[in-house]
Amino acid sequence: GEDVEQSLFLSVREGDSSVINCTYTDSSSTYLYWYKQEPGAGLQLLTYIFSNMDMKQDQRLTVLLNKKDKHLSLRIADTQTGDSAIYFCAENNAGNMLTFGGGTRLMVKP
Amino acid sequence: KAGVTQTPRYLIKTRGQQVTLSCSPISGHRSVSWYQQTPGQGLQFLFEYFSETQRNKGNFPGRFSGRQFSNSRSEMNVSTLELGDSALYLCASRRTLRDDEKLFFGSGTQLSVL
């Protein structure tokens, strides 16, 4: 079955770059997503990448996809305290439902 | 444009009761999906509705059911509640069933079963 894995926790200093990693298993996924969840809130779609792309940049966010290794990463440049949240990667599966990773809690220290 | 709206925001129920959660999708979105989020199991897909028909279903018992109305609004029902049903229930909408359509989530309904 599908299983998306992420590390649990990441701590960075304000102004540094953050890199959140994710591995997935469904090689037929056409899209991979990054969502952000702040305390008490739902999921906010941050960015996504089509499976035939290697990289996508969107302002401070850079997504890298290594399809051979089924590895996805999200880089946040110039990380701010407002970026503190839980970040979920997700892949779309057959039937187009999303399978999510367990989430990475990003803590940004001033 | 209003986002995905879920009501109520919080619910407290006791074991054995039933509960109905409501979701209004983004205007123009015809698909509504439901996800359950718990600390132990993470985010899990419940089901998706499009044009009032269930299109896909996750691995949940029959106590979990849903429906969609002609205006695309959706309700989710859980009968005979168990303690383990305590969770954040998230609704998401998208315009169509195409795989390039992005899912947009509501803020969720936090259900506590006592």
Model confidence band, residue B37 (pLDDT cutoffs 50, 70, 90) = very high
Average confidence (pLDDT) over B42-66: 95
- Residue B60's contacts (CB-CB under 8 Å, 6 or more residues apart) are B36, B44, B46, B47
- Which of the residues A58, A96, A99 would you substitute to probe the B interface, choosing the one with the greatest number of B C-beta atoms within 10 Å? A96
Q: Answer yes or no: do B105 and A102 touch at CB < 8 A.
A: no
Cα distance from A44 to chain B (closest Cα, Å)? 7
Of B55, B90, B100, Cβ closest to residue A43: B90
Mean pLDDT of A40-57: 92
The yes-or-no verdict on residue B1 having pLDDT over 90 is no
Place of tokens 């109905």: B20
- For residue A50, which residues of chain B lie inside 8 Å, CB to CB? 100
Mean pLDDT of chain A, nearest integer = 92
Count, residues in chain B: 114
Residue B108 has pLDDT above 90, yes or no: yes
Q: What whole-number distance in Å separates Cα of residue B88 and Cα of residue B14? A: 16
pLDDT of residue A2: 54
Spatial CA neighbour of A26 closest among A59, A52, A4, A43:
A4
Alpha-carbon distance of B78 to B96, in angstroms, equals 26
Residue B80 has pLDDT above 60, yes or no: yes
Tell the residue number behind the tokens 């998306």, with chain if given. Answer: A4
In this complex, is the C-beta atom of B60 within 8 Å of any C-beta atom belonging to chain A?
no
Token pair for residue A4?
Answer: 């998306």
Give the model's pLDDT for residue A45. Answer: 94
Cβ separation B55–A95 shorter than 8 A = yes
The C-alpha atoms of residue B35 and residue B43 are separated, in whole angstroms, by 6
Is residue B49 predicted with pLDDT exceeding 80?
Answer: yes
SS3 of A22-91: the string is: EECCCCCCCEEEEEEECCCCCEEEEEEEECCCCEEEECCEEEEEECCCCEEEEEECCCCHHHCEEEEEEE
Of the pLDDT bands very low, low, confident and very high (cuts 50, 70, 90), residue B2 is confident
**Residue B79 confidence (pLDDT) above 80:** yes
Chain A residues lying within 8 Å of B4, measured CB to CB? 42
- Look at A18-32, A49-63, B9-23, B74-88 and tell me which has the smallest mean pLDDT: A18-32
Whether the pLDDT of residue A94 is over 80: the answer is no
Q: In degrees rounded to 5, what are phi and psi of residue B56?
A: -155, 150
Q: Which two tokens stand for residue A1?
A: 């079955």
CB-CB neighbors (< 8 A) of B58 in chain A: 97
pLDDT bin (cut points 50, 70, 90) of residue A1 is very low
Task: Dump pLDDT digits (tens) for A19-47.
Answer: 999 999 887 888 999 999 998 889 999 99
Q: B92 — phi, psi (to 5°)? A: -140, 150
- Do residue B99 and residue A44 have CB atoms under 8 angstroms apart? no
